[in-house]
Amino acid sequence: MRKLALSDNILMQVEKPARYIGNEVNSVVKDKKKISLRFAMCFPDVYEIGMSHLGIQILYSMLNDWDDVWCERVYSPWVDLDAIMRKESIPLFGLESQEPIRDMDFLGITIQYEMCYTNILQVLELSQIPLLAKDRSGDMPIVIGGGPCTYNPEPIAEFFDLFYIGEGETQYRPLFDWYLENKRGGGTRADFLRGAAKIPGIYVPQFYEELYNEDGTIQGRKKLYDDIPDVILKEIAADVTDIPYPMKPVVPFIKVTQDRVVLEIQRGCIRGCRFCQAGQLYRPVRERNVDRLKEYAVEMLKNTGHEEISLSSLSSSDYSRLDELLDFLIEECGQRRTNISLPSLRIDSFSLDVMSKVQDVKKSSLTFAPEAGSQRLRDVINKGLTEEVILKGATLAFEGGWTRVKLYFMLGLPTETEEDILGIGDLSNKIAAAFFEAVPKDRRVNGKVQIVTSTSFFIPKPFTPFQWAPMCTKEEFLDKAHLTKKGIMSQLNQKSIKYNWHEADVSVLEGVLARGDRRVAGVVMKAYEKGCMFDSWSEYFHNDLWLESFEECGLDIGFYTTRQRADDEIFPWDFLDCGVTREFLLREWKKAKAETVSPNCKQQCQGCGANRFECGICWKFGENIKK
């Protein structure tokens, strides 16, 4: 019988002990005598967040389908258990076996957002693994990072043995085969890393050095071996229909952030919003077969007992068989009394027909993302929405019976003016007015509409046209938020509008970590040593400790955030190839400054470079661009 890593006495002391006992529905336990390789899959945040991540469920299912591999899960212990584990010297453990991570072959960490960087160090330290890759002995797990933040891994490069760049379905088997071959042959840790560096999509940071100019910018990169690549091209699953998918997702004992079946209908996005990193990283758009999705939906609902199913993609409205899939799900979910969630619907694609289909199952608030308050600024960011289209979409929603609308905007976008900021309140007011115009008094639920307007602060990200853009200071961000609030308070329908904004301190730090170089690793380490963890949780974010860490490391925050970058500056991530070319991104940056809109991928190819993969939309619509 499996023995728990934590005693009953300890479990009684911590909040939500179910986070740490494993044995959930559909979790996988294997006979250690029959496997060759053990892999700990980590999400460096609390259990409820990590259990909601589809990527881990996909890889967990795929790896455990291999007879010789056992993949377990591990999450960041919450602050209460963290303190106990340090005091009692309890090593961090996998949920399935309840055995130390330290004894496994691999520790894989998915890195979804920059504010989890100190939690990566927490996981390593509690696992009793040296924080720096160069200090690890041959009997320690290989620490590998994956996820969107690996597209600029330099601020955390010193903590990882490997990074997997791209989609995880393609190269884990070759990587594991090489690991087992090297182990059978008596090879060292260094031998394994040397061979792994030659596998497509694998980046071994200790084999490369950053070279700097006197002004602190990057002069170039030096590789230590001639037979490793100069540029690492991302891995991509060309046919997303036939890749592994979790038919039996792990079902938690406690409520998590996204407690539902998730159906990934496509990868990528055709839209080309210039601020959006995901829209560039996951090109080209690849759709899953609709008949396969129907099979997946039925099977996953049967195997989990979940009462809600969500369609996952960057822009669900652009899935070509959405109507057919919805018709099927409406009938299937109606019989099961299951709710349907439709995130990522674009307001210009939202139809009364689609709304009427889902409202019979569940009617909740609708989320629209105009992103900017004026048409000029929406053209700058290539949002592709006009005020007329926004108001028409909102009116259709109100006619369909919705009375609560969430609006998302960004402050601090390139070229932003006071007029653009005040436009947020003006547009919110017009949407509220559309409700009163569209819905007669006798049909108004509770007599009113609620508009929840939220603003986040713009953070330039690698591999976007705005990677060249300067970022605002904390003070500038707060001034913009106050101006937005003032604009909303001046509106006729202000009582129908609620305004929320993000924390400026966190945004500035995220901006540094997003575009930082390898020198930033010292700041991350020092901040962690001062006690920083769970930085994405406002109650545990300590900006003063981060500021102290930057000062002690001699690094200027403004160098990474507010500084203007030259067109030809070498970026820390330029040795990676995400599929879109630097030339395309620079062309889009210049079009942004000229307030010029680029058509989406279905309307006209913009020559981003993703057609080299010869799949998805580039293959279907791109006969004229395959040159």
Per-residue pLDDT tens over the stretch 318-330:
999 998 999 899 8
Mean pLDDT across 170-188: 98
Give the pLDDT confidence of 153-166 residue by residue, as tens digits. Answer: 999 999 999 999 99
CA distance 198 to 494: 59
Q: What pLDDT, on the 0 to 100 scale, is given for residue 624?
A: 39
Which helix H or strand E contains 119, and what residues bound it?
helix 117-126
Strand-pair category, 308-312 with 106-110: unpaired
Stated pTM of the model: 0.95
- Tell the CATH topology of 365-518: Transcription Regulator spoIIAA (3.30.750)
Question: What CATH number was assigned to the domain covering residues 8-233?
Answer: 3.40.50.280
Beta strand 261-264 with 308-312: parallel, antiparallel or unpaired? parallel
Helix (H, G, I), strand (E, B) or coil at 41: strand
How far, in Å, CA of 41 to CA of 47, rounded?
12
pLDDT above 60 for 144: yes
Domain boundaries of the chain, sorted by first residue: 8-233, 365-518, 577-620
How far apart are alpha carbons 93 and 533 in whole angstroms?
19
HSE value, Cβ hemisphere, 13 Å, CA-based, for 9? 3
Tens-digit pLDDT profile for residues 491-538: 999 999 999 998 899 999 999 999 999 999 999 999 999 999 999 999
Q: Taking the CB of residue 548, how many other CB atoms lie within 10 A of it?
A: 15
pLDDT averaged over the chain?
93
pLDDT band at 568 (very low <50, low <70, confident <90, very high): very high
Q: Given a cut of 90, is residue 448 above it in pLDDT?
A: no
Q: Which amino acid is at 240?
A: V
The yes-or-no verdict on residue 354 having pLDDT over 70 is no
Determine whether 273 is exposed, middle or buried from the number of CB atoms within 10 Å of its CB (0-12, 13-18, 19+).
buried
